[in-house]
Structure 1
Amino acid sequence: MFHLRRHWGTLVASASRRPPWVEVCASFATDPRQYDGTFYEFRTYIIQPAKMNEFLENINKHIHLRTAHSELVGCWRQEFGGVMNKVFHIWKYDNFAHRAKVWEALAKDKEWQEKFISKSLPLIVQQKNEITYLVPWCKIVKPPKEGVYELATFQMKPGGPALWGEHFQKAVNTHIQVGYSKLIGVFHTEYGTLNRVHVLWWTETADSRAAGRHRSHEDARVVAAVRESCNHLKFHENMLLIPTPFSPLK
């Protein structure tokens, strides 16, 4: 018998007696493995266009009831990019058992249900969620002051980080080194669309972000690193995000 443990996007088997294919799979492991059970839930709400202010006021007033149960990493409203009228938030959980206990407690929390859920659900057009892990080579960093955020989402080709992880990490690190924007965190999807990586950046203003991006297009270091990573890329998209007043990440 053998069991499988998770590498960043791949499965690696281990046991005292391994079948031949296991050694081949293990040889592909080039990045740090995902041992930490902590995960991050990405939740996206699409709000009725005329109801965005009402929704934000309600969540701002009652978010303390929700954060009493688990940690909110950040909450933003979308300014640009894709479908409009989005509220995007990230929640942190120790493991899946922790999340199950939190949601069980929320279902029994009458104050939360009556003051927020019953009033907010009619305002929501659609809800989406993804379960993500922070990549092993990255930690969430808080920005030096308030600003705006960019969530860049990369849909990579099938195969996982064993195939494209090294080039992707190099591209991210190159952007960090040139200093055009500040990295907050890099996340890969566990439940949702697989082979997807989200990179959360911070800049002081939307204009400073635009200026930095234009400079990066002319920076040979960035161009070379991105070119290698793009060989494994299917498509990518981004959103400009404005933190809500109650967001821990400002």
Structure 2
Amino acid sequence: MTPEVNGEEVFYFCLKGSTLLRKHLKDNNNVEGSETSSEVVSRVIPRGETIFECLTGLPLVKRSLSVGQDFSWQAAAHLPATAPQRQGPLYEFRTYRIRPDRTAAFLRLTNDKIHLRTAHSQLIGYWSVEYGGLNQVFHIWKYDSFSQRAAVRSALAQDPRWMSEYISQAIPMLTWQDNHVTTLLPWSRLRTPPLEGGAFELASFKMRLGGPPLWGRSLQHAMASHDAPGHAHLVAAFHSEIGHLDTVHALWWFESADKRRQVQGDAMAEVAVHVHTRDNKVMFACSFSPLK
């Protein structure tokens, strides 16, 4: 019986192709230091055999690449069906750092005037960061397209009440702003927490180059195993499209910060090989946040 071949492994070996093979052979004293990767491939791999077959001994029903062919191009034709969606809503993440002496005033002002902003586009959530970033707020805005966002920003700039009653007062309170654009991972949907209140965690993972075709299925399984009653509630999982590239953001909800500590597990342990760096922050929803 032909062994089952994992699509992520196929992608990994094909994408890294000759470089992996060259290292593998060099470690086993079967390559000269001056040889190029292409020369190694041509000399060592039997005609018609794939690099994946050469390294693992497993046959592939569909040959993804053979000697002399361009590795990454051929690999792209056989990616597993876990690529991010190129259609669907965009979610803009915005983070503001506030002057320490103006944090309370900024939150009061935003509470009073946020309706001027939500008249133009949909607010998903607005949080005050408690741990992992001092004097910060984090918010998510939903758009149907980049053109819709451009229209919204143009309308805001021409909205006299928004500019005079909010922007003119809020901007002097801020010391730093950041944004990037994300989309939901194909298997994720925005979910409302089971209860209002509680603590939210935004966990961010800088992933290995290759995107969801490389690590998507493993990531889905890891997060699903962590998402259970009495453990953690996955609100949504996002993948960056602009800014902070190759980054996955998981938005979790817990009954409290102490509950998070009690049930905390490493949801990413089984995909650790695909993760370069990690970061997180624990936040509490503002009173005017739709998600709370």
Work out whether the TM-score is over 0.5.
yes
Aligned partners of 1:74 and 1:248 also within 8 Å? yes
By relative contact order (CA 8 Å, sep 6+), the higher-ranking structure is 1
Cα distance in 2 for partners of 1:178, 1:159 equals 32
Q: Which amino acid counterpart does residue 242 of structure 2 have in structure 1?
A: Y
Cα distance in 2 for partners of 1:159, 1:152 equals 20
Cα distance in 2 for partners of 1:208, 1:150 equals 12
Could you tell me which runs of 5 or more consecutive residues in structure 2 were left unpaired when the two chains were aligned: 1-69
Could you tell me which runs of 5 or more consecutive residues in structure 1 were left unpaired when the two chains were aligned: 1-19
Where does residue 69 of structure 1 map in the other structure?
120
Aligned partners of 1:150 and 1:202 also within 8 Å? yes
Aligned partners of 2:234 and 2:252 also within 8 Å? yes
Deviation, structure 1 residue 30: 3.1
Stretches (4+) displaced over 4 A:
20-23
Cα distance in 1 for partners of 2:210, 2:86 equals 20
Cα distance in 2 for partners of 1:195, 1:33 equals 11
Where does residue 247 of structure 1 map in the other structure?
289
Deviation, structure 1 residue 165: 1.6
2:204 paired with 1:162: no
Which of 102, 118, 121 matches 2:152? 102
Once the two structures are superposed, the pairs formed by residues 169-184 of structure 1 within 5 Å of their partners are: 169-177=220-228, 179-184=230-235
Cα distance in 2 for partners of 1:155, 1:179 equals 28
Aligned partners of 2:240 and 2:246 also within 8 Å? yes
2:82 paired with 1:31: yes
Give the percent of matched residue pairs that are identical in Structure 1 and Structure 2: 43
Cα distance in 1 for partners of 2:145, 2:77 equals 25
Cα distance in 2 for partners of 1:67, 1:97 equals 18
Where does residue 114 of structure 1 map in the other structure?
164
2:92 paired with 1:50: no
Cα distance in 2 for partners of 1:192, 1:198 equals 13
Deviation, structure 1 residue 178: 6.8
SS at match of 2:251: strand
Which of 129, 134, 149 matches 2:179? 129
Cα distance in 1 for partners of 2:279, 2:84 equals 27
Count of residues paired in the alignment = 223
Aligned partners of 1:32 and 1:137 also within 8 Å? no
Which of 225, 244, 247 matches 1:196? 247
Q: Which amino acid counterpart does residue 136 of structure 1 have in structure 2?
A: P
CA radius of gyration, larger in: 2
Aligned partners of 2:226 and 2:232 also within 8 Å? yes
